[in-house]
């Protein structure tokens, strides 16, 4: 069982070049896994098509159970979400590895994101650095930039959270978010010749569009190096960023300058609230679809996605090169950890509206590959109404007027609920979308995007 990932890692190592201290994968990545040979029948005629743009939408912790729960509650059991409407759907495995390359069956978001961002697995907690040697691994966003594409990242979490972080930073540990958070990353500090915190690296990469939460991180003071004494937000302005903090600011942003949108001090407050699941269950509840903690002027994920697409397209106007955009619905995971079914469903529905925006863009721009997937499964399960399961439960009354019981039992009540090691859905449309068919691995998504965009 343990030998395969180990062998794969060795093969990769042998094929890597070292450019500017960063391991750059050699060209023949596709042969490693997920190459056209895995899906011969469908590749014929489709495999050669090139995508100008890629939109990757990630539901953090959005396993089949989370998708089904959102579907049942919002559009009904027989209804279909936007994310259900992709023409091609497969599944992928999400496991991470330990430092010797052996499988760790339950991944976190850092390791899983590193998987599709770099094409290689790593240890839980690590951001686009190798499992044993802790060396930076080139990311799909870095490759896209080198190939002249515009790039963007949108999230409902802090912009320094694991899923956005894997694209434009390299850190020993995901906790090294701002300049004051470097305890777990002694070798990444600027004093040690490293690249600094995730926040500093993200703006340092000049990603064209960065939208999400985490303003407090970016307001931390830089204590070393060239930008010493400035906050990361001030560093961003020095680098040419237009910094916006609300809906109005976002609307007024124009292409020509990179945009940093920071819409909350921490994670962006979720859309829906309700009673958390409890031992022995809750009274039947309807979710509150307007969270009072969400400030007026907080842009929705679909509004952010729409604006990001506009900015990226405007930046590339007149160019043959397109863009790579990642959009994350982060708090599906966070509310699942909290056994909060309404919070979780509201965030899944919010991501689904962003999927609708992405698919509408692709309908008008058929040279766009759109992929929707997750980084790992999560804890929520739909159980029979008459069941009395252990753990925490809640009964919901769905939009179609039926009762639905959801259970959270992956940890002792009082402790946060846990990720699960199940495979997750991956669905796609557009050039080379057939690469998601069958059962693949999250690292093959790197190859899919790289191949579709013909990135060298």
Binding site for Zn ion (CB under 5 A): 333
Kindly tell me which of 148 and 416 has the beta carbon lying closer to Zn ion.
416
Closest CA to 427 of 419, 417, 438, 416: 438
Question: Catalytic site residue 109?
Answer: yes
Kindly tell me which of 124 and 304 has the beta carbon lying closer to Zn ion.
124
- Taking the C-alpha atoms of residue 148 and residue 371, their distance in angstroms, rounded to an integer, is 21
Catalytic residue (choose from 96, 109, 331, 394): 109
Kindly tell me which of 93 and 451 has the beta carbon lying closer to Zn ion.
93
- Taking the C-alpha atoms of residue 151 and residue 390, their distance in angstroms, rounded to an integer, is 45
Residue nearest to Zn ion (CB): 333
Q: What is the dihedral of CA 408, 98, 130, 95, to 10 degrees?
A: -40
For the bound state, the minimum distance from the C-beta of residue 419 to Zn ion, rounded and expressed in Å, comes to 6
Kindly tell me which of 61 and 195 has the beta carbon lying closer to Zn ion.
61
- Taking the C-alpha atoms of residue 289 and residue 183, their distance in angstroms, rounded to an integer, is 39
Q: Is 76 left (phi over 0), alpha (psi -120 to 50) or beta?
A: left
Kindly tell me which of 66 and 333 has the beta carbon lying closer to Zn ion.
333
For the bound state, the minimum distance from the C-beta of residue 177 to Zn ion, rounded and expressed in Å, comes to 15
For the bound state, the minimum distance from the C-beta of residue 70 to Zn ion, rounded and expressed in Å, comes to 17
For the bound state, the minimum distance from the C-beta of residue 71 to Zn ion, rounded and expressed in Å, comes to 21
Distances (CA, A) of 95 to 111, 115, 336, 422, 441: 8, 9, 19, 9, 9
- Taking the C-alpha atoms of residue 262 and residue 158, their distance in angstroms, rounded to an integer, is 8
Contact 113, 124 (CB under 8 A): no
- Taking the C-alpha atoms of residue 354 and residue 60, their distance in angstroms, rounded to an integer, is 14
Kindly tell me which of 67 and 452 has the beta carbon lying closer to Zn ion.
67
- Taking the C-alpha atoms of residue 197 and residue 189, their distance in angstroms, rounded to an integer, is 7
For the bound state, the minimum distance from the C-beta of residue 109 to Zn ion, rounded and expressed in Å, comes to 6
β-bridge partners, 38? none
- Taking the C-alpha atoms of residue 330 and residue 153, their distance in angstroms, rounded to an integer, is 12
For the bound state, the minimum distance from the C-beta of residue 184 to Zn ion, rounded and expressed in Å, comes to 17
Residues classed as catalytic:
109
């Amino acid at each position: 069982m343990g030998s395969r990932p180990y062998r794969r890692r060795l093969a990769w190592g042998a094929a890597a070049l070292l450019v500017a201290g960063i391991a750059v994968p050699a060209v023949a990545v596709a042969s490693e896994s997920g190459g056209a040979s895995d899906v011969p029948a469908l590749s014929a005629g489709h495999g050669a098509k090139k995508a100008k743009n890629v939109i990757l939408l990630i539901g953090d912790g959005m396993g089949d159970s989370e998708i089904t729960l959102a579907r049942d509650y919002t559009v009904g059991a027989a209804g279909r979400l936007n994310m259900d409407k992709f023409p091609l759907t497969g599944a992928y495995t999400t496991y991470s590895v330990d430092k010797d390359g052996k499988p760790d069956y339950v991944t976190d978001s850092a390791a899983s994101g590193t998987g599709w961002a770099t094409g290689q697995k790593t240890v839980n907690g690590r951001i686009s650095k190798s499992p044993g040697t802790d060396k930076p691994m080139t990311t799909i966003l870095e490759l896209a930039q080198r190939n002249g594409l515009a790039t963007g990242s949108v999230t409902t979490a802090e912009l320094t959270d694991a899923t956005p972080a894997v694209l434009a930073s390299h850190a020993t540990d995901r906790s090294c978010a701002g300049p004051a958070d470097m305890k777990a990353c002694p070798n990444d500090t600027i004093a040690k010749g490293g690249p600094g915190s995730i926040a500093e690296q993200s703006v340092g990469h000049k990603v064209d569009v960065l939208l999400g939460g985490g303003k407090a991180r970016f307001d931390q003071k830089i204590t070393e190096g060239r930008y010493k004494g400035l906050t990361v937000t001030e560093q961003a302005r020095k680098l040419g960023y237009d910094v916006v903090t609300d809906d109005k600011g976002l609307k007024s942003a124009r292409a020509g300058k990179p945009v940093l949108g920071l819409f909350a001090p921490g994670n962006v407050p979720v859309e829906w609230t309700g009673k958390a699941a409890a031992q022995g269950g809750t009274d039947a509840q309807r979710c509150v679809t307007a969270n009072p903690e969400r400030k007026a002027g907080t842009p929705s994920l679909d509004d952010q996605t729409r604006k990001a697409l506009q900015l990226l397209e405007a930046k590339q106007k007149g160019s043959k090169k397109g863009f790579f955009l990642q959009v994350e619905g982060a708090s599906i995971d966070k509310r699942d950890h909290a056994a909060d079914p309404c919070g979780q469903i509201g965030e899944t529905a919010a991501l689904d509206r962003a999927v609708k925006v992405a698919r509408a863009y692709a309908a008008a721009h058929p040279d766009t590959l759109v992929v929707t997937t997750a980084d790992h499964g999560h804890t929520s399960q739909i159980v029979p109404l008459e069941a009395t399961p252990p753990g925490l439960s809640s009964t919901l009354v769905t939009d179609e007027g039926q009762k639905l019981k959801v259970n959270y039992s992956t940890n002792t009540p009082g402790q946060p609920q846990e990720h699960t090691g199940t495979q997750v859905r991956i669905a796609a449309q557009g050039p080379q979308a057939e690469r998601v068919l069958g059962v693949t691995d999250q690292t093959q998504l790197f190859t899919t995007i790289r191949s579709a965009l013909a990135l060298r």
